[in-house]
């Protein structure tokens, strides 16, 4: 490194590239942790900017920082929040378990940029990363605060809106397919009739309930650990600081955050992150189930179920001309597996707190945001590039339902289970319909068959009676 400046920390001098805003501690971390090449999701960096801005305003209000220092920190933090300085955060996700390296990365970048704003040299520490930007704070309470802020922002502003789009798409198909009667299936075997719309209504409700599950975890994530400092006691912090800082964080995000009920719990354990990600895992599982079902229903197109026609998103094979695959559904399947992996990491990491500190903060934060990003993105493309473009093969659905042995179910209340089973078996062996066999065996008349074996009527509650 030839084009560098010298910065100092408590361990001595460090060579830092001239054209960056980070300082000595960040440079040490970059050199110490060349592990994955994976840096934090932008939402986490944004959260750090929001917290540092809010802390500066709170400390200014409490009289600990001069207004010119507050103003410079706020301007620099705004650049972090907007994403202008995202390239200044190059510390690997796999680092010190408290996230101290990333907290200091934010402190140094904001301090150096603030120095520049007030006309001082980068590295001069006229505005100091610890004494000013990090005043009244510790990595041990700031990183989990950023975890909660970024997690809840991503749920509120990315995941839920994306799921609303998916729910709307499914709801439209529920209505569009409401008159398409088809064979229901349990254990992948023929069952009593259902409408294609009813199937899609079930999918819609899965997503609807997923949104509610995410709403239910908002309260836990809205608690912020800020103010606990090193171990939860709040040493070196004004008692009013967490409430004031939380107020500013809420103003910045539009989300009603509040101080944690118990700072020792908030720093030593991350049950809220585990709880919230479990809700994300369920959402991903719901989408996976829907994707699998639609792949089955679209299978074929000639030698499968073929009850729905899938969109032609792209050629499906490099060797088989004309082949079309359910690629969007397969993307959903793969996202689900990644989310399951993230969930395992978060569940284990959240449970591994030791005494006053959980040391899995960085990976918890990043895996959570990875899940919210890929769930949000895949939900939208699944809705817009697959579900919206599906059409029903109504003729095939209705032709197949007539051949279902499960139609005999509606006869059981009238002729008994054993006779109905005999009719179903006879129909299967002789390749006839239940209707044909029931009439041939003299169990029902043709007129009764019209009413008692009406597949459309079977899609509604009740016992089918002859209307004569």
β-strand pairing of 4-9 with 12-17: antiparallel
Helix (H) or strand (E) segment spanning residue 410:
none
Rounded Cα–Cα distance for residues 50 and 28 (Å): 25
Beta strand spans in 217-367 (E):
223-224, 258-259, 308-309
b/e 329-363 (16+ beta carbons within 10 angstroms → b): bebbbebbebbeebbebbbebbeebeeebbebbbb
187 is an active site residue: yes
The first and second tokens of residue 113, run together, are 């940029």
8 Å CB contact between 199 and 460: no
Beta strand spans in 132-259 (E):
181-186, 189-195, 223-224, 258-259
Active site residue: 36, 124, 317, 466, which one? Answer: 317
Active site residue: 187, 246, 286, 412, which one? Answer: 187
- Residue position matching structure tokens 């919206």: 388
Rounded Cα–Cα distance for residues 208 and 230 (Å): 41
- Residue position matching structure tokens 């001595």: 12
Give how far Cα 415 sits from Cα of 411, 454, 465, Å: 6, 17, 12
Query: DSSP secondary structure string, 416-449?
Result: -HHHHHHHHHHHHHTT--HHHHHHHTTSS-HHHH
414 is an active site residue: no
Rounded Cα–Cα distance for residues 168 and 174 (Å): 10
Question: Which residues does the annotation mark as catalytic?
Answer: 187, 317
């Amino acid at each position: 490194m030839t084009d560098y400046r010298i910065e100092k920390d408590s361990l001595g001098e460090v060579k830092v590239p001239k054209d960056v805003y980070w300082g000595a501690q960040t440079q040490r971390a970059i050199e110490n942790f060349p592990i994955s090449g994976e840096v934090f999701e932008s939402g986490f960096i944004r959260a750090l900017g929001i917290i540092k801005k809010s802390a500066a305003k709170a400390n200014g209000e409490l009289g600990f920082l001069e207004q010119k220092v507050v103003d410079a920190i706020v301007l620099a933090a705004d650049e972090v929040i907007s994403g202008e300085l995202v390239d200044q955060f190059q510390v690997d996700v796999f680092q010190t378990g408290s996230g101290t390296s990333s907290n200091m990365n934010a402190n140094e970048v904001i301090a150096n940029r603030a120095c520049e704003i007030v006309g001082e040299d980068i590295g001069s520490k006229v505005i100091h990363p610890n004494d000013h930007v990090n005043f009244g704070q510790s990595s041990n309470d700031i990183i989990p605060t950023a975890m909660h802020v970024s997690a809840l922002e991503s749920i509120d502003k990315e995941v839920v809106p994306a799921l609303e789009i998916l729910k709307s798409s499914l709801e439209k198909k529920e209505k569009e397919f409401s008159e398409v009667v088809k064979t229901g299936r349990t254990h992948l075997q023929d069952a009593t009739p259902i409408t294609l719309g009813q199937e899609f209504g079930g999918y819609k409700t899965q997503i609807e309930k997923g949104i509610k599950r995410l709403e239910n975890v908002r309260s836990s994530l809205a608690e912020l650990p800020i103010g606990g400092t090193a171990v939860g006691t709040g040493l070196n912090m004004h008692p009013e600081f967490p409430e004031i800082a939380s107020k500013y964080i809420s103003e910045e995000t539009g989300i009603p955050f509040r101080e944690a009920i118990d700072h020792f719990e908030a720093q030593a354990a991350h049950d809220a992150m585990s709880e919230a990600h479990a809700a994300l895992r369920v959402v991903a599982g719901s989408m996976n189930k829907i994707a699998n079902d639609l792949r089955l229903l679209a299978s074929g197109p000639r030698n499968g179920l073929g009850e729905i026609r899938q969109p032609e998103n792209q050629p499906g094979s490099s060797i088989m001309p004309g082949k079309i695959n359910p690629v969007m559904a397969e993307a959903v399947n793969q996202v689900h597996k990644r989310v399951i992996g993230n969930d395992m990491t978060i569940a284990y990491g959240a449970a591994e707190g030791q005494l006053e500190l959980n040391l899995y903060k960085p990976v918890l934060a990043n895996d959570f945001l990875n899940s919210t990003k890929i769930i949000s993105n895949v939900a939208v493309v699944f809705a817009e590039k697959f579900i919206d473009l599906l059409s029903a093969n109504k003729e095939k659905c209705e032709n197949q339902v007539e051949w279902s042995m499960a139609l005999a179910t509606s006869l059981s209340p009238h002729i008994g289970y054993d006779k109905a089973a005999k009719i179903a078996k006879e129909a299967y062996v002789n390749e006839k319909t239940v209707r044909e066999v029931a009439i041939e065996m003299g169990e029902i008349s043709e007129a009764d068959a019209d009413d008692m074996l009406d597949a459309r009527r079977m899609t509604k509650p009740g016992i089918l009676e002859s209307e004569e």
